[in-house]
Chains A and B, each alone.
Chain A
Amino acid sequence: MHSELSLIEQMRSGKLWDIPGGIHPPERKSLSNTSPIDIAPLSPIYYVPIKQHIGNEGDLIVSVGDRVLAGQPLTNPKEGLSLPVHAPTSGLIKDIILHVSAHPSGKPETTVVLESDGENIAIANQPIPDWQNKPNSELIAHLKSMGIAGLGGAGFPTYIKANPTKNVELLIINAVECEPYITADDVLMRHYAQEIIQGIEVLQHMVKPELVVIAIEDNKPEAISAIEKVIVDHKHIEVRVVPTKYPSGGEKQLIQILTGLEVPNQSIPADIGIVMQNIGTCFAIKKAVIDGEALIERVVTITGESISRPQNLWVKLGAPISDLLTHCGLVPEQDQRLIMGGPMMGFNIMDIMMPVVKSTNCILAPSEYLLPSRGVEQACIRCSLCADACPVNLLPQQLLWFSKAKDHDKLEEYNLADCIECGVCSYVCPSQIPLVQYYRTSKVEIKQAKEDKIKSDKAKERFEARQERLERDKQARLQRHKESAEKRKKALEKDNSAKDKIAAALARAKAKKNELAGTTAEVENKTSEANIPEVKTTDTQDRVAAAIARAKAKKQQAALNSDETKPDKTRTDDTKPKDIKAKGTEVVEEKVQTTEPVSAEQAKKDKVAAAIARAKAKKLKEAVEPAVSNVEEKEQTSDPVSAEQVKKDKVAAAIARAKAKKLKETNETEPKTDNTSSESIVPPVSEQMSTDSKTPEQIKKDKVAAAIARAKAKKQKDQGEQK
């Protein structure tokens, strides 16, 4: 229908198209659009979120306690899609906290808390008076540093849009403002038409479109006449009055109305040679370039039936909503709802300390009577009203089923991604189904599922790589073992004396064992490595002997506590917990039973035995558990008394935890084991080491372990002091 004419010829013809669907909700704009824009009083405290736009937040360049002036940047934008924020007024940076954000979730975001000093002193303006002669790059950098973002609602950084990579034929200035109640753009046009046109001129200079079209809905006659008055001598700027219909202010919808073209799926308007800017953004551009002021305030409509003085205000960004409501006289009814944005696409305000940000155009306090809250959701009756009303020709009822069934493939097949979340479907639904909420939820779920998929693919890859590596290591190890075994074999064949040596060692070991079933044989057993089977057979015997010896040594030590020399003490210290660990309570019982007095010589002997036992236990443990032995070593190295008692305690605590765990495990496997006997050797303690224990039994165990650790630490300390 328009194939012969170029885009611009079509535009100049003045023809308008229509969008499918759409609704005509009550407008209620006259509440707030009659009075001129007032200036909101200074708030005592401003909450400036460092992210108020799409993209990345900048890096903070102020700190708590700094004094700032109005318009002073608070953040430094990063590379890529990023904008700074500026101090809305002069004052003191009181704090930098996580504060409720201007988002439906209210999710706390990093916010600069600025205490106003009431002076409102601004930094020197940085205008670019000869902007007509400046290169684009300079103007773009200026827009970026002034923090200009789209004021229509999405908050897209303007410097990106003002720097199109493609040739732009048409620049559309969106002044449709189709949502009920909101009049911010309307009054801005009525009272600041000249400034807006100046902003458009700057944009014209930067984007260089063939034609600029200002689109205004026909329910704003005053704004239309105000704009028309100031564009009479601008050849390339036209006003196009579009019929009132919601949601004709949507970017893609307005393009369709003005040009009959549809922006293709997953494209942006720039792909078809069109750039769209909000009219408020044009004003902000004028302020930034010609006046040299950063974006620190915007027009906000404060309206609704519960507001006694509904009006539009110049609000400094960061002002808490509560101050604005007070200023405009909120008379709350029961269960008063507060909405940020319009009634169709806005969200409930969950905290009145929520700040005004760059994309806040309206604060709405409607009455329950005129804007009833949503009723109980009924079943879908397949009336297809939603499909008729959908401005992007989707099938909302089908999407609802798929959304409920979480059928992501089907949702994508039915183009959920093209949903503009205008809320028309929810508005027309006779069953009061909050359709758009389902879609929003599903969109997030799809996004999440995609992220999960990426993550699981990565995990799979890593898992497989690891399996491969382990297999490779295993093969390499086997190969090495094989090689070394062969080497040994060869060496053995070559050297007959080795055989003799082994035989001799065997014989020696046997003889010694027969001679004395006591402790000294063990040392030989250990050192002669070829004798492994022998060790195994004597192992249990030796253990019992060693245990008895150790028990005696301990007894002895307890008696002669202060007389002991340092190395001896530490050695016995070491053996104690190992007893518990390696042999459980059997040993402990023995300890309790051995009561006969011991002579000094006996004690010496016992000590030797204990040392051997300890060496053995250590060896055993090293084989089983290299980790704990590491700790043991660590502890021994920290034995020389140092000032760092804290560190020692920490190590002790770690060991205690390890032991508690081990103890638990052994107890679980050996139900016979008696807890009380192990408790008898250590004084019970009230202090609890680990707080994450679940059963009382475990708590008890942990306590025992903690006590051991503490006792040990204390001993070491005492020793240190003695020394």
Chain B
Amino acid sequence: MYTLLIALGALVALTIIFGAVLGFASVKFKVEADPLVEQIDNLLPQTQCGQCGYPGCKPYAEAIANGDDINKCPPGGEATIKQLADLMGVDAKPLDSAHGEEDVKKVAFIREDECIGCTKCIQACPVDAIMGASKVMHTVIIDECTGCDLCVEPCPVDCIDMVPLNDTNWKWDTLAIPVKNVN
């Protein structure tokens, strides 16, 4: 009987000790796991354009996490679809053309002499990339503009253009360069 109690006591003591150690470790060495939505959100291009039908990239990431299609993001294009497919463990699909086509990168440009200063584009911009105040000219901060297109529609005087962004990094396609004939 006494032996039994000793064994029992020892086991209980061990349980308490290990429990305490594990409990401490789980708090102290906690690994901050990336929730799925965060991971998806990180893959999306963050243009916040809403072409997917959701009001921004985060809501779409949430929708994907809840089982929505991964091929609704035209700015991300095939590359993003591929990455999402890898992450979600599903097959990559071609881009759903109902949500738009992949296009070259663009930024908004306000024709400043035509701007009437209505602030509508400022309200529409998802990333606060438009400067200006009521009744004074507005302008786009190119570096902050994601090219989401959302400011074009609200403009009452249609003075916003989407212009292709000049790539600063030249793509090495030397082979495609024709050699000029020299005479």
Q: Are B48 and A463 in contact (CB under 8 A)?
A: yes
- Selected from A332, A437, A462, the residue in CB contact (under 8 A) with B183 is A332
Asked if A627 contacts B128 (CB within 8 A), the reply is no
Contact across chains for A335 and B179 when beta carbons are under 8 A apart: yes
Taking CB atoms, residues of chain A closer than 8 Å to B178 are 350
Chain B residue nearest in CB terms to A104: B174
Is the C-beta of B171 less than 8 angstroms from some C-beta in chain A? Answer: yes
Size band of the A side of the interface? 35 or more
Is the CB of A630 closer than 8 A to any CB of chain B? yes
The answer on a CB contact under 8 Å between A441 and B158 is no
Q: Chain B residues near A692 (CB, 8 Å)?
A: 158
* Known contacts A347-B174, A630-B134, A657-B158; A338/B46 CB under 8 A: no
B29 at the interface (CB under 8 A from A): no
Report whether B174 and A630 are in contact in the complex, using a CB–CB cutoff of 8 Å: no
Q: Take A336-B179, A456-B45, A657-B157 as given contacts and tell me if A631 and B169 are in contact as well, using a CB distance cutoff of 8 Å.
A: no
Chain A nearest Cβ from B84, distance in angstroms = 14
Instruction: Answer whether A452 and B45 are a contact pair too, CB < 8 Å, given A406-B79, A627-B118.
Output: yes
Among residues of B, the one whose C-beta sits closest to the C-beta of A655 is: B157
Interface residues of B, count at CB 8 A: 45
In the complex, A103 Cα to B172 Cα: how many Å? Answer: 11
| Residue A615 at the chain B interface, CB threshold 8 Å | no
A462 to B129, CA, bound (A): 9
Contact B179 A349 (CB under 8 A): yes
Check B175–A627 contact: CB distance below 8 A. Answer: no
Chain A residues numbered 304-350 whose CB sits less than 8 Å from any CB in chain B: 322, 325, 330, 332, 335-338, 347-350
Q: Are B46 and A630 in contact (CB under 8 A)?
A: no
In chain B, positions 135-183 with a C-beta closer than 8 Å to chain A are 135, 143-144, 146, 156-159, 167, 169-175, 177-183
Residue A460, interface by CB 8 Å: yes
Interface positions of A from 449 to 485, Cβ below 8 Å from B: 451-452, 455-460, 462-467
Interface readout for B103-128 with A: 1 if CB under 8 Å, 0 if not? 00000000001101111100000111
Point out the residues of chain B lying under 8 angstroms from A653, CB to CB.
114
- Is A59's CB within 8 Å of the partner chain B? no
> Given the complex, which residues of A lie within 8 Å of B114, measured CB to CB?
650, 653-654, 657
Q: How far is it, in angstroms, between the C-alpha of A287 and the C-alpha of B178 when the chains are bound?
A: 39
Known: A459-B144, A460-B41, A630-B134. A351 touches B180 (CB 8 A): yes
Report chain A residues within 8 Å CB of B156: 625, 627-628, 657-658, 661-662
Chain B residue at minimum C-beta to C-beta distance from A628? B156
**A444 and B171 contact, CB distance less than 8 A:** yes
- The answer to whether A460 touches B46, judged by C-beta atoms less than 8 angstroms apart, is yes
A350 to B146, CA, bound (A): 34
| Cβ < 8 Å to A, chain B residues 43-91 | 44-48, 56-58, 79
Q: Once the chains bind, are B117 and A630 in contact (CB under 8 Å)? A: yes
Give Cα distance in the complex from A662 to B126, angstroms: 24
Residue B46 contacts which of A337, A459, A662 (CB distance < 8 angstroms)? A459
A435-446, CB under 8 A of B: which get 1 and which 0? 001001101110
Q: Is the CB of B127 within 8 A of A463?
A: yes
Q: Would you call B179 and A462 a contact (CB within 8 A)?
A: no
Instruction: Please tell me if the beta carbons of B182 and A336 are within 8 angstroms of each other in the complex.
Output: yes
Contact between A459 and B146, CB atoms less than 8 A apart: yes
A306: nearest residue on chain B (CB-CB)?
B182
- State the Cβ distance, B166 to closest chain A Cβ, in Å: 10
Please indicate the chain A residues that have their CB under 8 angstroms from the CB of B113 in the complex: 650
Q: In the complex, which residues of chain B have a beta carbon less than 8 angstroms from the beta carbon of A658?
A: 116, 156-157
Identify which of B119, B128, B129, B182 contacts A338 (C-beta below 8 A).
B182
The answer to whether A352 and B180 touch across the interface, beta carbons within 8 angstroms, is yes
Give the interface centre of B135, B159, B174 by most chain A CB atoms within 10 Å.
B174
Contact status A654-B174, CB under 8 Å? no
A437–B173 CA distance with the chains assembled, in angstroms = 7
Q: Does A690 have its Cβ within 8 Å of any Cβ on chain B?
A: yes
Hey, which chain A residues are within 8 Å of B41, CB to CB?
Answer: 460
From B45, B118, B129, B183, residue with most partner A Cβ within 10 Å: B118
The answer to whether A627 and B177 touch across the interface, beta carbons within 8 angstroms, is: no
Is the CB of A374 closer than 8 A to any CB of chain B? Answer: yes
Q: Which of A455, A462, A654 contacts B116 (CB 8 A)?
A: A654
Give, as a whole number of angstroms, the nearest-CB distance from A449 to chain B: 9
- Known interface pairs A105-B170, A459-B144; A337-B179 also in contact (CB < 8 Å): yes
A545 to B26, CA, bound (A): 77
Collect the chain B residues with CB atoms within 8 Å of residue A374's CB.
175
For the complex formed, measure the closest distance between the CB of A401 and the CB atoms of chain B, giving whole angstroms: 15
- B116 and A463 within 8 A (CB): no
Q: Which of A437, A445, A464, A661 contacts B174 (CB 8 A)?
A: A437
Cα A625 to Cα B154 in complex, Å, equals: 11
Q: Is the CB of A627 within 8 A of B116?
A: yes
Is residue A448 within 8 Å, beta carbon to beta carbon, of the partner chain?
A: yes
| CA–CA, A458 and B48, complex, Å | 12
**Docked-complex contact B57 and A463, CB < 8 angstroms:** yes
Cβ–Cβ < 8 Å partners of B180 in chain A: 338, 349-352
- The smallest beta-carbon distance between B108 and chain A, in angstroms, is 13
Report yes or no: A654 in contact with B157, Cβ–Cβ below 8 A: yes
CB-CB under 8 A from B182, the residues of chain A are 322, 325, 330, 332, 336, 338, 352
Q: Which of B45, B156, B177, B183 has the most CB of A within 10 A?
A: B156
Residue in contact with B169 in the complex, picked from A106, A349, A434, A444, CB distance below 8 Å: A444
A467: chain B residues at CB < 8 Å are 56
C-alpha spacing A569/B149, complex, angstroms: 41
Closest to B145 in A: A459
Is A107's beta carbon under 8 Å from chain B?
yes
Of B46, B158, B170, B178, chain A has the most CB atoms within 10 Å of the CB of B46
What separation, in Å, do the CA atoms of A213 and B174 have in the docked complex? 36
Which chain B residues lie closer than 8 Å to A456 at the CB level?
44-47, 146
Can you name 8 A-B residue pairings with CB atoms under 8 Å? Answer: A330-B182, A337-B179, A441-B172, A455-B46, A455-B146, A463-B57, A627-B116, A627-B118
Give the interface of A toward B (CB within 8 A).
103-107, 322, 325, 330, 332, 335-338, 347-352, 374, 406, 434, 437, 440-441, 443-445, 447-448, 451-452, 455-460, 462-467, 625-628, 630-631, 634, 650, 653-654, 657-658, 661-662, 690, 692
Query: A437-B172, A456-B44, A462-B144 known; 4 other A-B pairs, CB under 8 Å?
Result: A105-B170, A447-B169, A460-B41, A631-B116
